[in-house]
């Protein structure tokens, strides 16, 4: 049987996160998608639902973590990898650390709010009790283009 390399696996699951991100468009929310993977199986999915739920914490990562924890029957998500289309913000990076996530793979960097390499290094802060192996820039082009298209559309409607 053909074994996928880590890079191939990362791209495969990032494509799944991109598919999930497109669901956010239905509720006119910023198209960010996340999947949690354990043993090559997706155990949690989430996409931004702040507008739909009117909840400032309804980020893709938080919703995917909640789904994965429910699936596992534990808040401890050791042995899992999160794939998310945009570099996590401080809230989400903190949630990933608290969930004991092993790996984080993200698409586009977020120079204005990213907390896993751009503005902050929460995922690898030695002062915290857990660190996460972090890989950024996987399918960054398609991830960034989905966001750019969303904001271009919003601006064309006169919205911010």
145 flagged as catalytic? no
Give the separation between CA 77 and CA 102, rounded to whole angstroms. Answer: 8
| Mutual angle of helices 140-156 and 6-21, in 10-degree steps | 20
Tell me the helix, strand and coil percentages in the chain, rounded to 5: 40, 20, 40
- Selecting among 16, 26, 61, 121, the annotated active-site residue is 61
- Kind of pairing, strands 81-86 and 33-38? antiparallel
Q: Which residues are catalytic?
A: 61
């Amino acid at each position: 049987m053909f074994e996928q390399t880590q890079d191939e696996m990362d791209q495969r699951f990032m494509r799944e996160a991109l598919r999930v991100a497109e669901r956010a468009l239905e509720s006119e929310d910023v198209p960010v998608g996340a999947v949690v993977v354990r043993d090559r199986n997706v155990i949690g999915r989430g996409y931004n639902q702040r507008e739909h739920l009117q909840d400032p914490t309804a980020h893709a990562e938080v919703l995917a973590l909640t789904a994965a924890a429910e699936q596992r029957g534990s808040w401890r998500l050791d042995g899992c990898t999160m794939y998310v289309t945009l570099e996590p913000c401080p809230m989400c990076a903190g949630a990933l650390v608290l969930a004991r996530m092993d790996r984080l793979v993200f698409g586009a960097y977020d120079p204005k709010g990213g907390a896993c390499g751009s503005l902050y290094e929460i995922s690898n802060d030695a002062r915290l009790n857990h660190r996460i192996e972090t890989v950024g820039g996987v399918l960054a082009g398609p991830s960034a283009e989905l966001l750019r298209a969303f904001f271009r559309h919003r601006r064309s409607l006169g919205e911010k």
